[in-house]
Structures are given as C-alpha cells and as structure tokens.
Amino acid sequence: MGIPDPPSLGREPTAPVKPNRSLRAQLLRPLMWGWLLVALIAAWGAYRLAQFAGDTAYDQTLQDEAGAIATQVYWTDRGPLLELSVQAQQLLARDSADRNAYMVIDEMGQILAGSSNLPMPENIDASFTAPQLFDASYLGEPVRGAIYSIRSPMLDQVVSIVVVETRRRRRELEREIQLAVLLPTVALGLLTFGLLHWGIRRGVAPLRRVAAAVEARDPRDLQPLPLQGVPAEAVPLIERINVLLANVDRAVRQQRRFVADAAHQLRTPVAGVRVLAQALQHEWRSGGEAAPGLLRELVASSERMGRLVSQLLNLARSESALRDGPAALESVDVVAAVREAAEPLALRASREGRVFDLQVPAQACRARAHPVWLGEVVSNLLDNALRHGGVHVRLAVQAEPGGVGIEVFDDGPGIPADQRELVFEPFWRAERSDTRGSEGAGLGLAIVRDVVHAMGGRIELHSRPEFEGTRFRVWLPLASRG
C-alpha cells in the first residue's frame, strides 16, 4: 500500500479569513448611520424652517409696504395723486442689502410714480381685497413682489401699487437659521460619538485585560479566568470559558493518570514475561526439566498482558466513543445484542462450574444505542460478575417506560458502600479476598460507564446489605420511531 498524500496536498487553497469587526465598530457604525439620517432630516427641516421664517417675515413686510403706499394715494379731479410721507420713504429704503423698488400704475398702464417696467402678475383681480404676493424676475435677478389694487369710490378709476425686492436678505436669514440648527447638531453628534467611543473603550478594557492575561499564561495553566471587573454582559461568556477550562483540565488530568496507570499496570506483566523468558532460556541451555512449565507460565503471562493491552485500548476508545453524538447511534435490538455478547461468557461460566441464568423476553426490545459498544458493555459486566461474584450469575433484559433495562446479578460478597463510586474509576480494584490474584486490571467498569453515558443512558449499582450480592443496572433510551 502506498503512503497517502499529506492532508495539505490536492486541496484547494482556502480563502483568507475575513477579520472580525471590533465591538466599537459594531456599536458605532449603526449609530453613525442613524446620526447621519437625523442630520439629513435636521438639514432639510432647517432649510424648510428658514424658508418659512424668511418668507413669512419678508412677505408681511412687502404687504405692509404695498398697503402703506396705497394709503398715500389721493384722488383729485385730475386723477390719482401719490404723496409719500417720510415714514413710507424710510420703509422702502429700510435695507440697502436688498434692491427694493415700487411702482404705481393705473389701469391704462400709465406709470404714475416709482420705477418703470416692474413685473406684474397676470391676474390682479384678487389684489383688490388684500395685497397679493408673487414671484418674478427683475433686472436679471429673482424678486419677490406684492401688488395691491385700489379703486376710486367716485371716479371709477383703478390704481395698482407694485412693490418688489430681491431675495438677498431672505437667503442670508435662511443661512443663519440653517447654521443655528445644524452647527449644534454636528457638535452634539461629534461629542456623542466621542463619549460613546470612550465609554465603549472603557467598557471593553476588562475583556482586553482578560485576553492579555490569557496570552501571558503558560499553556499548561488552566486556572479559571478572573471575573473581577468584568461587565455583567460578559460574565456568562467568561463563566463558560471557565467551565471549558475546567473540562480541559479534567481531561488532561485523566489523560495523565491514564498514561501513568497504564505504564504502572504494564510494568508488572512485562517484567514477568522478561523474567520467565530469561528463566526459560537458562533452562534450555542447562537442559533442565522445568522448561515446559516455564513455557506455560510465559504463555499465560503473555495472554494476561494481551488482555491488559486490549482493555487499555478499549478504555482509550471508549473515552472518545460516539464522539459524533446521535449520528453514531441507531435502533438496536437489545435482546439479540445481549444474546450474542453473553454466549462466550455463558460457556466460560459452564466450564468454571457457575450457574448462568439468561432471562430475556421473546420479542425484540429496541433501544437507541451502538451495536458494537452495547456488546462491550454486556461482556464487561458479565466478566466482572464471573470474576468477583459468587456461584450464581443472572442476566436479564426487560422493556421499561421510555427505555430498555439490562441487569446483571451475582450472589457474591458485594461491594462496600464507600467503594461503590470508586469501582467505575480506571485501574481501581477493591482490596477483597476474592479479588486478590485476579487477572483483571480494573478497566472493565470504567469502559462500561463511559460507553453507557455516551449512548445517553445511565448505570446504577446496588449491593449488600440492601441487595443479595451485587446488581448492575443499565438503562438505555428507546429508539425513535419512523
């Protein structure tokens, strides 16, 4: 078989990872767009307000001027006569920034007073009741005008007074109002953004300190992160990180303990094989008669070491078993799996003169499990019962509400209450007379616990005095239908 290509060969280059936006950017960017929208609305509002204020003030002045001039028209036998008072002249010349002009014209188009060629609106009928406003152009410049028409009560003559002015002062007023509205808005927005930037930077400073503390840590330091000074919103995140660190620390400790225990457990059988091999070599050279017995001891010792290595591998596999979660589980007929796993143990019990009782229902009991690891659970429980139990061993399967139960009984001396939690720890074996000299390594129940939990089930242990002997009970959830 050829050596497989390295994982990096034959793969398409991955796209560069887009850097994450900072918290400041994520908070300030929506605020900035909102502020810009408000500023645009404020600018439009300031423009409309300035137009309204300028038009209202200056239009009223134009109407007053037209009305004031109308009051200075006198009717004589020769026709209308205009005599402007000093107050009216001052009103017309109120501001040199604007170009003001007036005109008094009769219904025949004859200019009676003022400037000639001033623009007039097409319809002047409405101007008899009140001065009417209009827009026009005069001498190449837009102007605003007012026209007021009066009729002689006796001579049946009509005179129209037209007053126009440029829009310069209106535009200056509009700019002043716009600046008065927009400048505080811009200043307040900049101040707000500055305060927000400072506040956010101050708020995330504890997170930066936590990140700096983590970066400065030794990789082997898995102590929990401090919560002092961390904002309340970030406390759940730091707590979850601390839980993760605790899990990693626990896994590292278990791994180290497993390696140390495995090395300790393997040292004895390896040393025994080496001593037996040396003794066998010496016997063969000296022609002694003990060689066949030493050879049998060597084979038995190598078998024990093989079983220990197999259990170590199973334990390592069980710690990572079913890592894919629900995807690795399927609907399994527990009755069939138990029968298959119990068959070699039943033969072993028969050879040892034990009573083995298998009680399973006739119909299938399906549970959500892994077929291979379910057989491993049953095998280890039965092996433990045959090693440490009494004469009678019983295996039972029964359907239960919401799941399937598997029970292994033995009539042995039982397990003390203070040691029941320890039996599921790797390499632990009780100091009992019935376990001394046993070939077990204390790994079977640890494998059972890990696998049962990985399959979503639970395991219970009952022993003397509340139970005659020892009972291990495994519960597995029902398989989903469909």
**Residues 412-463 pLDDT 10s:** 888 888 888 888 877 666 544 344 344 555 677 888 888 898 888 999 999 9
Contact (Cβ atoms closer than 8 angstroms) between residue 114 and residue 163: no
**Residues 131-182 pLDDT 10s:** 888 988 888 889 888 998 888 877 678 888 898 888 888 888 888 887 887 8
Q: With cut-offs at 50, 70 and 90, classify the pLDDT of residue 335.
A: very high
Contact (Cβ atoms closer than 8 angstroms) between residue 388 and residue 352: no
Q: What is the pLDDT of residue 401?
A: 87
Distance, CA of 116 to CA of 112 (rounded, Å): 9
**Residues 232-241 pLDDT 10s:** 877 888 888 8
Q: What is the pLDDT of residue 459?
A: 93
Q: What is the pLDDT of residue 222?
A: 82
Contact (Cβ atoms closer than 8 angstroms) between residue 476 and residue 403: yes
Across the chain, what does the average pLDDT equal?
A: 78
The pair of structure tokens assigned to 463 is 């022993």
165 by DSSP, 3-state: which?
Answer: strand
Torsions phi, psi for 225 (to 5 deg): -75, 145
Q: What is the pLDDT of residue 9?
A: 40
Instruction: Please report, rounded to a whole number, the percentage of residues in the chain having pLDDT higher than 90.
Output: 9
Angle (nearest 5°) at CA 383 between 352 and 394? 75
Q: With cut-offs at 50, 70 and 90, classify the pLDDT of residue 118.
A: confident
The pair of structure tokens assigned to 119 is 């623009």
The pTM of this model reads: 0.46
Which is nearest to 411 in space by CA: 339, 470, 477, 462? 470
- 358 has pLDDT over 50: yes
Q: What is the pLDDT of residue 8?
A: 43
Which is nearest to 360 in space by CA: 393, 344, 336, 331? 336
Which is nearest to 278 in space by CA: 267, 296, 294? 294
- 404 has pLDDT over 90: yes
Please count the other Cβ atoms lying within 10 Å of the Cβ belonging to residue 239.
14
Place of tokens 């278990």: 254
E-assigned strands of 85-130?
100-106, 111-114
**Residues 263-288 pLDDT 10s:** 655 666 677 777 777 777 777 777 66
Count the residues in the chain: 482
**Residues with Cβ < 8 Å from 294, sequence gap 6 or more?**
276, 279, 280, 283
Q: What is the pLDDT of residue 435?
A: 40
